Structure 1
Amino acid sequence: MTGPDQFLFFFSALGAFNGFLLSIYFAIHAKKKIFTNYFLSLLLLVLSIRVIKSVFFYFNPQLSNIFIQIGLSACILIGPFLFLYLKAYAEDKKTNWANHVLPYLIGISILGLLYPYVEHTFIWRKWIIKTIYVQWFIYIILSAKYLRPIFKKIKKRESLRKIDIWLFSIYTGVSLIWLAYAMAAYTSYITGALSFTFILYVAILLLVFKSSSETTFFDEKEKYKNKAIDQKTLAAISQKLGLITEQELFLNPNFTLEEAAKELKLSKHTLSQYVNEILGKSFSNLIKEYRIEKAKKLLETKKNYTIESLGYDSGFTSKSTFFTAFKKVTGLTPAEYQKAYSK
């Protein structure tokens, strides 16, 4: 393998490997009851399987036909998982995922048994692979309707939210990967793998950008479809929201929007809409403010608190997070605040 080939192998294979890691990350993140991330995890998984097959087949044409069949079969689920992921974000209701996954999974399994790639290579190349790419393309078209609000913003040159950029990137990335594979006969077979690697690293950069942000990038969908909350419901939510401070529920470091909704007997969607539209902030920032108020009271009444213990007792998960949040909200460090209060 020459130097340029080694570089191509490393770059494309690394993308597939990182795709697997991100798939695991989102699967674990989904355990925090963010169900849409299951679809994202599975989307990255089937893409990675498809790409790793391309990488090894390109550099080792004698690759086992069984492995080739698995890689090609994974393509049939790329479109459905893209569709389900975007649909889950766009619609505030449970998604019937089985209708979009099981028929294809069962179908490709039966085809694989009846016409294994090793014995029916011609049938796979002539019919099955082309059918899979057509099905993938159809789902790309169907998925586009869930990005219409984003397309309208782009057309009107309105600013996009971080979640808009993320969803648009996922959709565009999958579409470009499809295009790379569909045009491989006119370019190079490795183009799809390289496209996946490049797009994946763009997604990773977005994740890093998201992690440094104040907003809850994946936890809150921030989509309300112009549904206004009636006055009676507004009053009820305002009253119920007081329970969070009265019972100091925010002291739980893992207190989430979903847990708050359960405690207040509200839907997650309604509570998120109220906090975003009426209070003008994200749920995470609201809880952060509650914790800062708790910390201020402790600073005003307790003299022997260390900054680290003060942060933990206020609901923060680390000293640095507490210190940064406190100074941003009050303009002072905890020590400076306590000194100013004692004067």
Structure 2
Amino acid sequence: MNISQQILFFLSALGAFNGLVLGIYILYNKRKSIPFLLLGILLLAISIRVAKSVFIYFNPQLPKIYLQVGLSACFLIGPSLYYFFRAAMGRVAAIPANWKREWGVLLGLLVVGGAVFPYQTCPNLWNHFVARLIYLVWAAYIVATGVLLWSTLKTFLVNRSALNATEQFWLWVYGSNCLLYVVYLLALLRYIYGIYIGGGIAFSSILYLTIFFFVKGGKMDQLLTAPELASFNKPEKKKIADNDARAWAEKLGQAIMDKALYKDPNLKLSDLARAINIPAHQLSQLLNDNLGKSFSTYINEYRINEACKLIATKEHLTFEAIGYEVGYNSKSTFYTAFKKVTDTTPALFKENAMKTTD
């Protein structure tokens, strides 16, 4: 290799090497959570895929087993990305049984399929069918992840300043994976000559930009135990920053009104947390510490506010029907909540409302 090729090899291989190191560090970190376990697997899968593309670019005669390992790792990138976000957004503290079964199927396909149809003896099968199937699976998981992040993506398009640090990190991870997928898909389809090595360069750039933005001024283990993503089992002791609190409160109110979530009599704190993509313990902290309200008080205010509108405009509805309409399971619960929020009864409220209109 000449000097320019050596520099290109160094830059592209460096990201793969450091990705492997970081992925292994995450996997063996004693304080890792389920999301970061999956993030470590994602980093390892991408790093192995990138390393394969770098070495085959500079050594086309690379033994077939390395090509098979690289493509096999590529098969795990999409699932790792998708389940990372499911774990992070769902505050998963233990891997569910159905996840283990799904991963067992994926790994079984890799091991059994690779053993029965190895790249060494079936290169045409891998090049013309398996590789395309792998990229199709990768694309499917990217789309599924986009669905999970839909509300966050909409917020980014409308008002990116409303995103908190966690959501910024999520979008960075998702966008980086989309970019890598596009680069390698173009290489697979041979649309752009020489773009194959671009995957390694892109990954190196993404990895170091990630370190710059999220680890600058702190240690790596601080990133891996960041309260937004890792410490799901430990409630925050510090009050949420005012900017984040305002942004989350605005998103929460918008989600509740747009989807009329308060009408669900079985509504739980975790349901609201998923609606704005934050851990349930942080939503609880937002309500209690920043807004000074319990979950039930917060929801009751929405329900009673809607009930007041119905009482004033829907004279034919009974109080019991209105209570059910706004999310209460019983008349007594509705009356109690109404009295607590408005300091009056539904009947007195209706009487005053009728006098005002007269």
Name the TM-score class by shorter chain.
0.5 to 0.7
Query: Counterpart of 1:115 in structure 2: which amino acid?
Result: F
Is contact 1:54–1:193 with CA below 8 Å preserved after alignment?
yes
Structure 1 unmatched ranges of 5 or more = 235-267, 282-343
* Residues 1:92 and 1:154: Cα distance change in structure 2 (over 3 Å): same
In 2, Cα distance between equivalents of 1:99 and 1:201: 34
2:21 corresponds to: 21
**Where does 1:188-207 land on structure 2 (aligned, <5 Å)?**
188=194, 189-207=196-214
Deviations 1:43-72 (A, max 9, x none): 000111111111111111111111111111
2:150 maps to which residue? 148
- Partner Cα distance (1:148, 1:52) in 2: 32
Counterpart residue number, 2:116? 114
Q: Does 1:219 align with 2:269?
A: no
Structure 1: distance between partners of 2:26 and 2:215: 14
- Aligned partners of 2:282 and 2:70: how far apart in 1? 40
Equivalent position to 1:173, from 176, 188, 212? 176
Mapped to 2, the partners of 1:183 and 1:72 lie a distance apart of 16
| Matched residue, 1:12 | 12
Matched, 1:274 2:284: yes
For 2:184, the aligned partner's letter is: Y
- Contact 2:49–2:74 (CA under 8 A) maintained in structure 1: yes
Aligned length: 244
Provide the secondary structure at the position in 2 that maps to 1:97. helix
Partner in structure 1 of residue 33 of structure 2: 34
Would the aligned equivalents of 1:11 and 1:197 in 2 still touch at CA under 8 Å? yes
Q: What amino acid is aligned across from residue 133 of structure 1 in structure 2?
A: Y
Instruction: Give 1:296's aligned residue.
Output: none
Give the conservation status (yes or no) of the 8 Å contact 2:14–2:204.
yes
Q: Do the aligned partners of 2:152 and 2:167 also contact (CA within 8 Å) in 1?
A: yes
Give the whole-Å Cα distance in 1 for the aligned partners of 2:159 and 2:217.
22
Give yes or no for contact 1:37–1:85 (8 Å, CA) kept in 2: yes
1:177 to 1:274, Cα distance in 2 relative to 1, 3 A: same
TM-score by length of structure 2 reads 0.62
- Corresponding residue SS for 2:290: coil
Give the CA deviation at 1:272.
3.4
Larger CA Rg, structure 1 vs 2? 2
What SS does the aligned partner of 1:183 have?
Answer: helix
Higher relative contact order (CA 8 A, sep 6+): 2
Q: CA separation of 1:47/1:158 partners in 2, compared to 1, >3 Å: closer, same or farther?
A: closer
Q: CA deviation at 1:206?
A: 2.7
Cα offset, 1:274, TM superposition: 2.8
Match of 2:2 in 1: 2
C-alpha separation between the residues in 2 aligned to 1:211 and 1:217? 15
Q: Which amino acid aligns with 2:166?
A: I
Q: Using the alignment, how far apart are the partners of 2:14 and 2:279 within structure 1?
A: 38
Q: For 2:76 and 2:198, how far apart are their aligned partners in 1? A: 20
Deviation for aligned residue 1:197 = 1.2
Question: Residues 158, 57 of structure 1: CA spacing in aligned structure 2 closer, same or farther, 3 A cutoff?
Answer: closer
Q: Which amino acid aligns with 2:156?
A: I
Contact 2:33 2:231 in 1 (8 A): no
Matched-pair contact (CA < 8 Å) for 1:166–1:206: no
CA contact (8 A) 1:19 1:45 kept: yes
Query: Which residue number in structure 2 is paired with residue 308 of structure 1?
Result: none
In structure 1, the residue matched to 2:73 is 74
Q: Residues 39 and 81 of structure 1 are in contact (CA less than 8 Å); yes or no, is this contact kept in structure 2?
A: yes
Root mean square deviation of aligned Cα: 3.0
Percent identity between the two aligned chains = 33
Residue aligning to 2:127:
125
